[in-house]
Amino acid sequence: MLNYSTSEENYIKAIFHLQKQDGTVTTNELANELKTKPASVTDMMKKLKAKKLLNYQPYQGFRLNNDGTKVALGIIRRHRLWEYFLAEKLKFTWDEVHEVAEDLEHVSNKKLIDKLDEFLGFPRTDPHGDPIPDANGKIEISRKICITELPLHTVAIVSSVSDQSSEILELLEHKKITIGTKVEVKKKFDFDKSMEIRIGRQPVFTISDRLAQNIFVQSN
Amino acid sequence: MLNYSTSEENYIKAIFHLQKQDGTVTTNELANELKTKPASVTDMMKKLKAKKLLNYQPYQGFRLNNDGTKVALGIIRRHRLWEYFLAEKLKFTWDEVHEVAEDLEHVSNKKLIDKLDEFLGFPRTDPHGDPIPDANGKIEISRKICITELPLHTVAIVSSVSDQSSEILELLEHKKITIGTKVEVKKKFDFDKSMEIRIGRQPVFTISDRLAQNIFVQSN
DNA sequence: TATTTAATTTAGATTTATCTAAACCTATTT
DNA sequence: AAATAGGTTTAGATAAATCTAAATTAAATA
Ligand SMILES: [Mn+2]
Ligand SMILES: [Mn+2]
Ligand SMILES: [Mn+2]
Ligand SMILES: [Mn+2]
């Protein structure tokens, strides 16, 4: 396995997260995700294409190929194992781990990561509930859906939350929404797409669509 | 505290290790240590001088100032804490830890390192026997001397060994020379500066000057 | 189908870190 | 004091990653 620069790895991982099922990722989407400029994205896409990690034709968007996906899963494995370590061993709160893991994930020594995995007891999910790929890059497919797609009056369990910004995580913590929380949608409003939800036996309260988009549940 | 690039940090740390007591470090010495070219060193010295981390006048060598020393001690703290973690928690052998720590040391998140320190139980030395600076940059001054300076027939304890290359560490392991080993110099040869030493009650054997230079002992 | 708009790419700069080769100092030796 | 040899610095290139502004293309609209 070759080694990739921190910058290349950040692009590869971002593409992996953005490409859903069969669709392609656009230049602007990726630039927005990485807080960079479209011109920089185009440069990097040419480079990653030359390294045979993705399919890319000018103006047609891009998508990781098999090799690129393997690389992405390696980065995600490192990221999530470090997140687990930070939360479980170093007692970081779960909204702090992502930022630190964003750097640690780029130390790519296979032995280090496999020994870390063993030391942690081969955890299956990170502190946000996302599955951790194993040493061969195999990852559990999770049956999670966004809470916005959950039918009314159906109790589900929060299985993961977006980890993209610590602002969101701070809000979730304040609302006492965390992994494992039992939640039920009581009402949805078309006007602003906000929804009223209930956690356990607490009073019903409202969350914005923006927040709901970042909460994922396991319906069974 | 500002942040420095990986490259800047590697230069700063190398200068710290090369500058003994009151002397200055030369361009060639540093280029040799970092396996780079003298021209690259000169470029970086200008940069680090501009950042007020060292004293440097063209052709006169250089030396870290107070601020530079503080930065160096921070890097060394990270390096040695990770080495301890790798050896103690992940069960790396002590000749494998340096290389990995060389990368991990550049993840400079103060909270991460202070929590790691706490998790490890505030270790005082790394797996090579070198002291670990505390969160304030304070470091124990060790009374260690090189085995080449140890008087004949004086039993001493190996307190640290060079960790610069895994080749040396491999050799030391083969010879069963490790931290805590009791050692005594039986004879020194002027011709090639080799020496005969005895470990515990084993038969006397010879080590080269090149190797001896990398073995440090605590004479009492 | 022609036009307009929005997304994307290209062109040209900038910054950081590196190198080689040439020029330049400093110290030692004649 | 002049010559020489080492060590050091400068000059000029290169590669990676980024940017702004201009040019181009594709898609939507008239
Ligand atoms: Mn994360
Ligand atoms: Mn990252
Ligand atoms: Mn080390
Ligand atoms: Mn390093």
pLDDT at residue B220, as a whole number: 64
Whether the pLDDT of residue B173 is over 70: the answer is yes
Going by pLDDT thresholds of 50, 70 and 90, the confidence category of residue B163 is low
pLDDT at residue B208, as a whole number: 93
| Closest Cα in chain B, distance from residue A90 (Å) | 6
Mean pLDDT of B198-218: 90
pLDDT at residue A163, as a whole number: 60
Residues of A in contact with B100 (CB under 8 A): 107, 109, 111-112
pLDDT at residue A36, as a whole number: 97
Which tens digits make up the pLDDT trace of B1-37? 789 999 999 999 999 999 988 789 999 999 999 999 9
Residue nearest to nucleotide C10 (CA to C1'): A39
pLDDT at residue B178, as a whole number: 84
CA B188/CA B148 separation, integer angstroms: 9
Please answer yes or no on whether A116 and B92 come within 8 Å at the CB atom. Answer: no
CB atoms within 10 A of CB B14: 20
The domains located in chain A, with CATH, are: 6-64 (1.10.10.10), 144-218 (2.30.30.90)
The ligand whose atoms approach the alpha carbon of A10 most closely is: 2
CA B114/CA B78 separation, integer angstroms: 9
Mean pLDDT of B142-159: 88
Which residue matches tokens 């797609």?
A149
The angle subtended at Cα B86 by Cα B147 and Cα B18, nearest 5°, is 40
In sequence order, what DSSP letters do the residues of chain A get, joined into one string?
Answer: -----HHHHHHHHHHHHH--TT--B-HHHHHHHTT--HHHHHHHHHHHHHTTSEEE-TTS-EEE-HHHHHHHHHHHHHHHHHHHHHHHTS---TTTHHHHHHHHTT---HHHHHHHHHHTT--SB-TTSPBPP-TTS--PPP--EEGGGSPTT--EEEEEE--S-HHHHHHHHHTT--TT-EEEEEEE-TTT--EEEEETTSPPEEE-HHHHTTEEEE--
pLDDT at residue B218, as a whole number: 83
Q: What spacing in Å lies between the alpha carbon of B158 and ligand 4's midpoint?
A: 26
Whether the pLDDT of residue B64 is over 90: the answer is yes
Tokens coding B136 = 């304030």
pLDDT at residue A22, as a whole number: 78
Residue of A nearest to B121 (CA): A90
Which tens digits make up the pLDDT trace of A22-80? 789 999 999 999 999 999 999 999 999 999 999 999 999 999 999 999 999 999 999 99
pLDDT top residue among B100 and A143:
B100
Residue A216 has φ and ψ, to the nearest 5°, of -120, 140
pLDDT at residue A220, as a whole number: 64
CA A167/CA A211 separation, integer angstroms: 11
Percent of chain A at pLDDT > 90 equals: 68
Q: Checking DSSP bridges between strand A62-64 and strand A195-199, what pairing results, if any?
A: unpaired
CA A58/CA A76 separation, integer angstroms: 27
pLDDT at residue A145, as a whole number: 86
Mean pLDDT of B164-186: 84
A86-CA/D18-C1' distance, Å: 31
Residue of B nearest to A103 (CA): B107
Residue B196 CB-density burial (10 A; 0-12 exposed, 13-18 middle, 19+ buried): middle
Instruction: Give buried/exposed letters for A87-98 (b at 16+ CB in 10 A, else e).
Output: bebbebebbbbb
Residue from the list B89, B96, B104 with its beta carbon closest to the beta carbon of A107: B104
The angle subtended at Cα B39 by Cα A4 and Cα B107, nearest 5°, is 35
Mean pLDDT of B123-147: 91
CA A52/CA B80 separation, integer angstroms: 38
Whether the pLDDT of residue B154 is over 70: the answer is yes
Residue of B nearest to A91 (CA): B115
Structure-derived torsion over alpha carbons of residues A84, A86, A88, A91, reported in degrees to the nearest 10: -150
| Closest Cα in chain A, distance from residue B135 (Å) | 16
Q: Which parts of chain A have pLDDT scores under 70?
A: 163-164, 220
Tokens coding A122 = 């081969």
Tokens coding A102 = 């964003």
Q: Is any atom of strand D within 7 angstroms of residue B28's beta carbon?
A: yes
In sequence order, what DSSP letters do the residues of B174-202 get, joined into one string?
Answer: HTT--TT-EEEEEEE-TTT--EEEEETTS
Sequence length of chain B is: 220
Percent of chain B at pLDDT > 70 equals: 99
Q: Is any atom of strand D within 7 angstroms of residue A44's beta carbon?
A: yes
In sequence order, what DSSP letters do the residues of A3-60 get, joined into one string?
Answer: ---HHHHHHHHHHHHH--TT--B-HHHHHHHTT--HHHHHHHHHHHHHTTSEEE-TTS
CA A33/CA A89 separation, integer angstroms: 30
Q: Checking DSSP bridges between strand A145-146 and strand A215-218, what pairing results, if any?
A: antiparallel
CA-based nearest residue to A73, from A129, A168, A1:
A1
